[in-house]
Amino acid sequence: MIVRNPNQRVAVLVDVQNLYYSAKNLYRAKVNFKNLLKLAVQDRPLTRGIAYVINAEPGEQNEFFEAVNTAGFEIKEKALQTFIGGAKKGDWDVGIAMDAVRLAPKVDSIVLVSGDGDFVPVVTFLQSAGCLVEVIAFKKTANNTLMETADDFIDISEYKRELMFKQKK
């Protein structure tokens, strides 16, 4: 458990796809992004809050994007790539990593909202640069090494009432 003080500058980086599918598959629920930001920041100054989204159906997700933006997040969006043969790919791992590295000198703590083990090298780099790294994710789907490497880990499942609501059928 890390010590949080009211002067720590915080950046919150949310891997929306990771969060969305974990909430959907584990609880058939959606995430309350406004309450998520509040939990991540914990009364510290927010320097940046960025939600990274994949726009799988252009024009179809505007309501969701607006809700995330209204909750206090800047949205970075990229289109879903479709390859010859029908394979699809859409992730922000490199973009999130680059933003974390760029933001590290400007903040005291980076809150990474993702359980993706691909972020372990970024976490260790940020720590070596003097940044605290907090991870918020679903423990059941989060990578063990990521949870162990982070300075603090918060399991979203322990905040179900505050952070999730049931999906409409």
3-state helix, strand, coil in the chain (%, to 5): 40, 30, 30
pTM: 0.91
- The confidence score (pLDDT) of residue 111 equals 98
In whole angstroms, what is the distance from residue 101 CA to residue 1 CA? 23
- The confidence score (pLDDT) of residue 57 equals 67
- The confidence score (pLDDT) of residue 60 equals 54
Question: What are the DSSP calls for 89-156, one per residue?
Answer: E---HHHHHHHHHHHGGG-SEEEEE---GGGHHHHHHHHHTT-EEEEEE-TTTS-HHHHHHSSEEEEG
- The confidence score (pLDDT) of residue 91 equals 77
Query: What's the chain's length in residues?
Result: 169
Give the pLDDT of the chain (169 residues) as one tens digit per residue: 677 889 999 999 999 989 988 999 999 999 999 999 999 999 999 999 999 998 876 655 677 888 898 999 999 988 766 666 665 566 789 999 999 999 999 999 999 999 999 999 999 999 999 999 999 999 999 999 999 999 999 999 999 999 998 766 5
- The confidence score (pLDDT) of residue 102 equals 98
Closest Cα to residue 153, out of 161, 141, 165, 162? 141
In whole angstroms, what is the distance from residue 123 CA to residue 20 CA? 22
Domain ranges of the chain: 10-45+93-166
Q: What is the CATH number of domain 10-45+93-166?
A: 3.40.50.1010
- The confidence score (pLDDT) of residue 82 equals 66
